């Protein structure tokens, strides 16, 4: 049994709003093997985004352990987490989160430059070509469509050849056709390059592209579906939502 | 490159470095000038300086006659010395056309003519008593007689010779009789300095640039006042600059949280974020510092002229370009900008990557632990500085402590502001019941930190306007208290064209003199024990060589009734005095009171400042004096002081309030621009444009109210400390005066600026956008 790429042990995340204590994650334990495509689903408020943030080192759990590519995240300080993220994690948000004053090329090169490395133009062109935007290097986000912006964000996440690519609802703001393009791109990365991808989604069709689906409800991991079809996923989700 | 956010900081640094460069240039130019009458003096020797708390420029202790002669003989023997002249001077004024010549207030022995290289143009030097050498410009020929006014009164002298310069000389024997004490020995020629120092045996040797120490004490005092004014301006400017940059940077970081979070999510470490903020600040500081230094140098001559006109610098003041103020200005720019942005840079570094995702602007904890610590520390420091003013006797220290205390309180109030915002907002907006009021209240409460940052410049402006005006008012009244007590009679005899009243004009008036006690010079007064209007303890001064001491000095010297003390008078001779009375300082005219005859015996230049006349005295005008009504006298003295004080106040308030106003406008402009999404949401929720503008105006008013309240509290605390200090120093009952007119003007100015900076742009933006557009 190979060591998993991402390992979550007894993960808890609580936070206070005023006088209430909200439990976003309640003792989640799961291993994600390398080279797989995992989808995380659940009703709103189930903690799926929080799980992603903790696994990627963007947020700190209240208790529990996260091991990513052999590194225990909980032992790192802010600077250590940032450096780790720069080198081994790619993150794609729902709202593309590109810096509007920079071109697509500059946005993609930014993480590497923040790490102190110069990105040579050939690398940039290759990254853009990978997502099918080879001729858009000099365009600013405002000149790109939603799908194109999302693809630039994916290219940025990939330029550092991360160990894991995390995506939080990457197709949430895209229309059907563009969604399919983006999902095909992600699937291709797993199949051809062995990229490990963890994706949060509420869309069963998107989840069906994944190798396994994790179902969360009320911060707890309640089910796991392997290579399921979109219909069976949708049925299972409906059942979960009905009982919530 | 210069976005709206950075413009405010740029302008702040620009004006800050301009003021710093300007004040430092003026300070560097304010060098003491050797008076003309010592033009030929190469080296001057005098006793080491004495100190006195309330007057930073006392005269040095005089040598007695014999000691001075011996020292002069020793100095004359040093190789290279052409002449070693003990300089003797005493009060004397020639009377030309019935009026004393105002430009001449002292006569010197003829030997001192060498020190000025004054040569006779007619006649011969003065040799015997009542012979004098005059200036030929006064139109009195050789051989004629002239009236000369001395401390004992007018007398006829004969003119033995004439010189070109406007100076008065008498014979050396007359000078030795009237001014036995020698304060300075001047050397001409090319004296060997090492030899001089050896021969002087501990006395101060002035040479070259340090000969400026010979300038008249009055000029030195004026320059000192100018120094205080300029340093206060520089300090206030630097403080206001750092403060404005800090609050602007804090607001900028707060408003760009999402962008910073995005940078963090993309891979910027906290350190990189912090360095970006400080690097930007340093660049702005460098550019603005350069521009500001140039501006300051250009404006320096203008301000210099204002200072001379106002009497804050002597007439000999001339502005020149010096290197170190320029360097200081260039350095100050980036330094001030980086210093101001440090706290904001730290906050920016703490922004987490998930901030990029947050939509709502909800602050979880407006007051962090470190902010509480900073706020309480600075407030405590401000109070301590206020208390420290009561313990210092030095006048300039008092001013420094008061100003530093005010600054500390302003910082403390700003740090603690977010904690005070909920209380103040609830209190202020309690009567506002409608929907707009609710929106205003809730948004101010939810954004306590933002409200505090926006209110910070108002806090600064109101605090300093109130503090400066109140301080000036309080200290004016504290020092006026003494004068008001002194002039109780219906009319007063005051000097007219003379520095004081002599024996002929006012034979019973108290004489002012200086006594030297070890290393301290103490102002003393010689009173006529027979005068019934004097305080009780002074009746005992009929016996010779007696003194009445104030309680504080008696405690300091550890002496009591019937003890003896040794003092030196102006003639340089140590004299033993017996204490015949100890009284509280409020009752006595000075800390040491001796008999009038004792003073006259030892000091031929002692004069009286004024003599209150009993009611019903006919108006007789002796030479050099006139009778005025008490009111007129007080007004005359006050008018001059008031003018000085007014200019001083205006300069300081101008600097601090100017900054504050600038910052208020900039901050409100920035803050309102960033709240545009909230206001659009209001429109979408159904508010009319007018209601939105009302909300904008209301929020600005709330911000000004919060800032004004906190600033007022800080200022009043600082004023209390300053009043206590003045009370301890002057011994008068000093009340804390709050300058309500100034406060009202400061608050109204801030309110007008805030409303203009927020409502006008909001109005422009509202008329451009329609709600439906924002939905896309």
pLDDT in tens, B543-592: 788 888 888 888 888 888 888 888 888 888 888 888 888 888 777 888 88
Distance, CA of A163 to CA of A198 (rounded, Å): 11
A114 lies within 8 A of chain B by CB: yes
* Beta carbon pairs, A and B, within 8 Å: 45
For residue B409, count CB atoms less than 10 angstroms from its CB and return exposed for 0-12, middle for 13-18, buried for 19 or more. Answer: buried
Mutate to test the interface with A, among B1, B273, B353, B445 (most CBs of A within 10 A): B353
pLDDT at position B402 is 83
The DSSP result for B710-765, as a single string, is HHHHHHHHHHHHHHHHHHHHH-S-------HHHHHHHHHHHHHHHHHHHHHHHHHH
Q: Is the confidence at residue B776, as pLDDT, over 50? A: no
Return the closest-CA partner of residue A145 out of A215, A198, A96, A216: A96
Which residue in chain A has the smallest CA separation from B359?
Answer: A95
Distance, CA of B435 to CA of A178 (rounded, Å): 44
Work out whether the CA dihedral B652, B654, B659, B665 comes out positive or negative.
Answer: positive
Distance, CA of B91 to CA of B93 (rounded, Å): 7
Record the tokens describing residue B58, joined without a space.
């006392």
B299 lies within 8 A of chain A by CB: no
pLDDT at position B395 is 64
The DSSP result for B232-287, as a single string, is HHHHHHHHHHHHHHHHHHHHHHHHTHHHHHHHHHHT--HHHHHHHHHHHHHHHHHH
Record the tokens describing residue A95, joined without a space.
């709202």
Which residue in chain A has the smallest CA separation from B272?
Answer: A114
Q: In this complex, do A114 and B352 lie within 8 Å of one another by their Cβ atoms?
A: no
- In 10 A of CB B292, how many CB atoms? 30
Of the ranges B534-538, B581-585, B637-641, which is most confident?
B581-585
Distance, CA of B223 to CA of B29 (rounded, Å): 11
The DSSP result for chain A, as a single string, is -PPPSEEEEEEEEEEEETTEEEEEEEEEEEEE-TT-EEEEE-STTSSHHHHHHHHHTSS--SEEEEEETTEEGGG--HHHHHHHHHHHEEEE-SS----TTS-HHHHHHHHHHHTTPPPPHHHHHHHHHHTT-TT-TT--GGGS-HHHHHHHHHHHHHTT--SEEEEESTTTTS-HHHHHHHHHHHHHHHHHH--EEEEE-S-HHHHTTSSEEEEEETTEEEEEEES--HHHHHHHHHHHHHH-
Distance, CA of B50 to CA of B516 (rounded, Å): 8
- In 10 A of CB B398, how many CB atoms? 22
User: What's the Cα-to-Cα distance from B693 to each of B105, B312, B411, B696, rounded to whole Å?
Assistant: 69, 48, 32, 5
Mutate to test the interface with B, among A49, A57, A82 (most CBs of B within 10 A): A82
Of the ranges B8-17, B247-256, B613-622, B696-705, which is most confident?
B696-705
pLDDT at position B619 is 63
- Tell me the shortest Cα–Cα distance from B263 to chain A, in angstroms: 8
**Residue A198, φ and ψ in degrees, nearest 5:** -120, 125
pLDDT at position A191 is 92
pLDDT in tens, B92-106: 999 888 888 888 888
pLDDT in tens, B416-460: 998 888 888 888 877 777 777 888 888 888 788 888 888 888 999
The kind and range of the H/E element at B146 are strand B145-150
A99 lies within 8 A of chain B by CB: yes
pLDDT at position B533 is 61
- Pairing relation of β-strands B153-163 and B131-135? parallel
Q: In what order do the strands lie in the sheet with A164-168?
A: A89-92, A164-168, A196-200, A37-41, A212-217, A220-226
**Out of A53, A58, A114, closest to residue B268 by CB:** A114
- Average pLDDT over every residue of B685-713: 89
Q: In this complex, do B265 and A91 lie within 8 Å of one another by their Cβ atoms?
A: yes
Distance, CA of B577 to CA of B549 (rounded, Å): 11
- Pairing relation of β-strands B546-550 and A212-217? unpaired
Distance, CA of B342 to CA of B253 (rounded, Å): 11
Q: Which residues of B294-325 are buried (b: 16+ CB within 10 A; e: fewer)?
A: bbbbeebbebbeebbebbbbbebbebeebeeb
Band (B680; pLDDT cuts 50, 70, 90): confident
Contact (CB, 8 A) for B644 and B526: no
A111 lies within 8 A of chain B by CB: yes
Q: In this complex, do B270 and A110 lie within 8 Å of one another by their Cβ atoms?
A: no
Distance, CA of A178 to CA of A175 (rounded, Å): 6
**Mean pLDDT value across chain B:** 83
Return the closest-CA partner of residue B389 out of B23, B722, B751: B722
Q: What is the largest CA-CA distance in chain B?
A: 106
Which position has the token pair 């406008």?
B665
Record the tokens describing residue A157, joined without a space.
């996440």
- Tell me the shortest Cα–Cα distance from B258 to chain A, in angstroms: 10
**Out of A53, A79, A114, closest to residue B266 by CB:** A114
SS3 labels along B489-525? CCEEEEECCCCCECCCCCCCCCEEEEEEECCEEEEEE
SS3 at position B8? helix
Band (B394; pLDDT cuts 50, 70, 90): low
pLDDT at position B687 is 81
pLDDT at position B51 is 67
Residues of A in contact with B354 (CB under 8 A): 53, 58-59
Q: Considering only B107-116, B262-271, B647-656, B748-757, which range has the smallest mean pLDDT? A: B647-656
pLDDT at position B748 is 93
B346 lies within 8 A of chain A by CB: no
Distance, CA of B726 to CA of B736 (rounded, Å): 10
Distance, CA of B663 to CA of B414 (rounded, Å): 14
pLDDT at position A211 is 92
The DSSP result for B569-607, as a single string, is -TT--EEEEEEEEEE-TTTSSSSEEEEHHHHHHH-TT-B
B358 lies within 8 A of chain A by CB: no
pLDDT at position B473 is 81
- Tell me the shortest Cα–Cα distance from B3 to chain A, in angstroms: 13
Q: Is the confidence at residue B744, as pLDDT, over 90? A: yes
- Pairing relation of β-strands B120-123 and B184-189? unpaired
Q: In what order do the strands lie in the sheet with B43-46?
A: B81-87, B184-189, B43-46, B204-207
Q: Dihedral through CA B286, CA B291, CA B297, CA B298, nearest 10? A: 180
- In 10 A of CB A165, how many CB atoms? 23
- DSSP bridge pairs for B157: B146
pLDDT in tens, B210-223: 888 888 877 787 78
Tens-binned pLDDT, residue by residue, of chain A (244 aa)? 578 889 999 999 988 777 788 888 989 999 999 999 999 998 887 888 899 999 998 888 999 999 998 899 988 988 889 888 888 898 888 776 788 888 888 888 888 888 888 888 888 888 888 888 888 888 888 888 888 888 888 888 888 888 999 999 888 878 888 888 889 989 998 999 899 999 999 889 999 999 999 999 888 888 888 888 888 888 888 888 887 6
- Average pLDDT over every residue of B592-601: 87
Band (B381; pLDDT cuts 50, 70, 90): very high
- In 10 A of CB B142, how many CB atoms? 17
ipTM: 0.84
Band (B618; pLDDT cuts 50, 70, 90): low
Record the tokens describing residue A237, joined without a space.
């989700």
Which residue in chain A has the smallest CA separation from B263?
Answer: A99
Residues of A in contact with B264 (CB under 8 A): 82
Mutate to test the interface with A, among B266, B352, B364, B445 (most CBs of A within 10 A): B266
- Tell me the shortest Cα–Cα distance from B234 to chain A, in angstroms: 40
Contact (CB, 8 A) for B720 and B736: yes
Band (B747; pLDDT cuts 50, 70, 90): very high
- DSSP bridge pairs for B93: B149
Q: How far apart are the first and last CA of chain A?
A: 35
- Tell me the shortest Cα–Cα distance from A58 to chain B, in angstroms: 6
- Average pLDDT over every residue of B516-536: 78
Mutate to test the interface with B, among A114, A146, A159 (most CBs of B within 10 A): A114
Q: In this complex, do B352 and A59 lie within 8 Å of one another by their Cβ atoms?
A: yes
Contact (CB, 8 A) for B51 and B396: no
B268 lies within 8 A of chain A by CB: yes
Residues of A in contact with B270 (CB under 8 A): 78-79, 82
Band (B775; pLDDT cuts 50, 70, 90): very low
pLDDT at position B412 is 92
Q: How far apart are the first and last CA of chain B?
A: 29
Band (B363; pLDDT cuts 50, 70, 90): low
Record the tokens describing residue A43, joined without a space.
């009703």
A61 lies within 8 A of chain B by CB: no
Residues of A in contact with B352 (CB under 8 A): 58-59
pLDDT at position B770 is 59
**Out of A59, A79, A111, closest to residue B271 by CB:** A79
The DSSP result for B332-358, as a single string, is HHHHHHHHHHHHHHHHHHT--GGGGG-
Percent of the residues in chain B that have a pLDDT greater than 90, as a whole number? 12
pTM above 0.90, yes or no: no
Band (B774; pLDDT cuts 50, 70, 90): very low
Angle of helix B689-730 relative to helix B369-391, nearest 10 degrees, comes to 30
**Out of B272, B352, B353, closest to residue A114 by CB:** B272
- Tell me the shortest Cα–Cα distance from A131 to chain B, in angstroms: 19
Record the tokens describing residue B588, joined without a space.
């006595």
Residues of B in contact with A93 (CB under 8 A): 265, 356-357
Query: Cβ contacts of residue A117 below 8 Å, gap of 6+?
Result: none
The CB-side HSE value for B109 (13 A sphere, CA atoms) comes to 20
pLDDT at position B483 is 57
The DSSP result for B359-406, as a single string, is -S---S-SS-HHHHHHHHHHHHHHHHHHHHHHH---HHHHHHHHHHHH
Residues of A in contact with B266 (CB under 8 A): 99, 110-111, 114, 156
């Amino acid at each position: 049994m190979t060591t998993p790429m991402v390992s979550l042990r007894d993960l808890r995340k609580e936070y206070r709003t005023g006088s209430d204590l909200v439990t976003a994650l309640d003792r989640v334990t799961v291993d994600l093997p390398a080279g797989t495509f995992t989808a995380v689903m659940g009703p709103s408020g189930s903690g799926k985004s929080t799980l992603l943030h903790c696994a990627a080192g963007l947020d700190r759990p209240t208790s529990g352990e996260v091991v990513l590519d052999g590194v225990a995240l909980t032992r790192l300080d802010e600077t250590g987490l940032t450096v780790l993220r720069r080198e081994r994690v790619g993150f794609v948000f729902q709202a593309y989160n590109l810096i509007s004053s920079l071109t697509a090329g500059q946005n993609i090169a930014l993480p590497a430059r923040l790490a102190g490395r110069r990105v040579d133009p050939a690398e940039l062109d290759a990254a853009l070509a990978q997502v099918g935007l080879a001729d858009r290097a000099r365009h600013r986000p405002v000149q790109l469509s939603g799908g194109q912006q999302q693809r630039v964000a994916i290219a940025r996440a990939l330029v550092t050849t991360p160990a894991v690519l995390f995506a939080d609802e990457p197709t949430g703001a895209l229309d059907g056709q563009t969604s399919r393009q983006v999902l095909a791109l992600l699937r291709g990365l797993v199949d051809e390059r062995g990229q490990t991808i963890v994706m949060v989604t509420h869309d069963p069709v998107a989840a069906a592209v994944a190798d396994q689906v994790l179902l969360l409800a009320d911060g707890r991991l309640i089910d796991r579906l392997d290579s399921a079809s979109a219909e069976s996923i949708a049925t299972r989700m409906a059942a979960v939502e009905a009982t919530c | 490159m210069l976005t709206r956010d950075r413009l405010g900081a740029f302008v702040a640094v620009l004006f800050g470095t301009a003021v710093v460069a300007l004040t430092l240039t003026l300070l560097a130019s304010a060098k003491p000038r050797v008076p003309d009458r010592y033009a030929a003096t190469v080296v001057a020797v005098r006793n080491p300086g004495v100190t006195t708390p309330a007057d930073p420029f006392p005269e040095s202790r005089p040598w007695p006659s014999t000691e001075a002669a011996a020292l002069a003989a020793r100095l004359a023997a040093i190789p290279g010395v052409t002449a070693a002249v003990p300089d003797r001077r005493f009060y004397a004024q020639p009377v030309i056309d019935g009026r004393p010549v105002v430009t001449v207030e002292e006569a010197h022995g003829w030997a001192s003519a060498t020190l000025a290289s004054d040569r006779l143009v007619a006649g011969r030097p003065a040799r015997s008593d009542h012979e004098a050498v005059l200036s030929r410009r006064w139109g009195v020929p050789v051989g004629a007689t002239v009236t000369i006014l001395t401390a004992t009164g007018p007398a006829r002298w004969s003119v033995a010779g004439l010189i070109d310069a406007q100076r008065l000389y008498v014979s050396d024997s007359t000078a030795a009789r009237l001014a036995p004490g020698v304060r300075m020995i001047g050397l001409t020629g090319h004296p060997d300095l090492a030899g001089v120092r050896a021969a002087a045996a501990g006395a101060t040797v002035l040479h070259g640039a340090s000969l400026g120490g010979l300038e008249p004490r009055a000029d030195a005092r004026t320059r000192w006042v100018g120094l205080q004014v300029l340093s206060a301006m520089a300090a206030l400017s630097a403080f206001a600059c750092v403060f404005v940059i800090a609050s602007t940077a804090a607001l900028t970081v707060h408003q760009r949280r999402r962008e910073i979070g995005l940078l963090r999510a993309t891979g910027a470490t906290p350190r990189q974020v912090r360095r970006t903020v400080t690097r930007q600040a340093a660049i702005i500081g460098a550019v603005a510092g350069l521009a500001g230094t140039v501006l300051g140098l250009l404006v320096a001559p203008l301000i210099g002229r204002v200072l001379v006109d106002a009497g804050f610098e002597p007439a000999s003041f001339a502005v020149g370009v010096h290197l170190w103020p320029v360097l200081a200005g260039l350095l100050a720019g980036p330094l001030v900008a980086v210093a101001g942005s440090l706290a904001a840079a730290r906050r920016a570094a703490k922004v987490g990557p998930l901030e990029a995702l947050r939509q709502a602007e909800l602050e979880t904890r407006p007051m962090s632990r470190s902010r509480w610590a900073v706020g309480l520390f600075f407030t405590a420091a401000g109070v301590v500085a206020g208390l420290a003013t009561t313990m210092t006797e030095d006048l300039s220290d008092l001013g420094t402590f008061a100003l530093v205390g005010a600054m500390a309180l302003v910082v403390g109030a700003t740090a603690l502001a977010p904690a005070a915002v909920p209380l103040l907002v609830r209190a202020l907006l309690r009567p506002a019941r409608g929907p707009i009021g609710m929106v205003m209240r809730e948004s101010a409460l939810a954004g306590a930190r933002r409200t505090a940052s926006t209110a910070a410049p108002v806090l600064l402006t109101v605090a300093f306007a109130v503090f400066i005006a109140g301080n000036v008012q309080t200290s004016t009244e504290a020092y006026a208290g003494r004068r008001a007590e002194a002039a109780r009679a219906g009319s007063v005899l005051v000097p007219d064209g003379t520095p004081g009243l002599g024996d002929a004009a006012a034979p019973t008036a108290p004489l002012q003199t200086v006594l030297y006690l070890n290393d301290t010079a103490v102002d003393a007064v010689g009173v006529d024990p027979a005068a019934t209007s004097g305080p009780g303890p002074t009746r005992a001064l009929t016996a010779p060589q007696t003194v009445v001491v104030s309680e504080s000095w008696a405690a300091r010297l550890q002496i009591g009734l019937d003890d003896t003390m040794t003092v030196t008078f102006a003639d340089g001779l140590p004299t033993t005095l017996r204490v015949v009375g100890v009284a509280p300082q409020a009752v006595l005219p000075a800390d040491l009171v001796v008999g009038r005859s004792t003073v006259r015996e030892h000091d031929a230049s002692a004069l009286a400042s004024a003599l209150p006349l009993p009611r019903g005295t006919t108006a007789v005008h002796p030479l050099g004096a006139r009778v005025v009504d008490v009111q007129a006298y007080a007004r005359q003295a006050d008018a001059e002081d008031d003018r000085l004080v007014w200019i001083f106040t205006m300069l300081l308030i101008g600097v601090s309030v100017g900054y504050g106003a600038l910052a208020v406008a900039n901050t409100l402009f920035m803050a309102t621009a960033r709240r545009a999404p909230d206001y659009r949401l209001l429109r979408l929720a159904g508010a009319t444009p007018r209601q939105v503008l009302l909300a904008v105006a209301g929020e600005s008013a709330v911000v000004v109210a919060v800032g004004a309240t906190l600033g007022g509290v800080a200022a009043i605390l600082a004023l209390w400390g300053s009043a206590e200090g003045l009370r301890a120093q002057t011994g008068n009952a000093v009340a804390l005066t709050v300058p309500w007119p100034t406060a009202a003007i400061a608050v109204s100015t801030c309110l007008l600026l805030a409303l203009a900076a927020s409502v006008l742009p909001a109005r422009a933006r509202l008329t451009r956008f329609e709600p439906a557009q924002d939905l896309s």
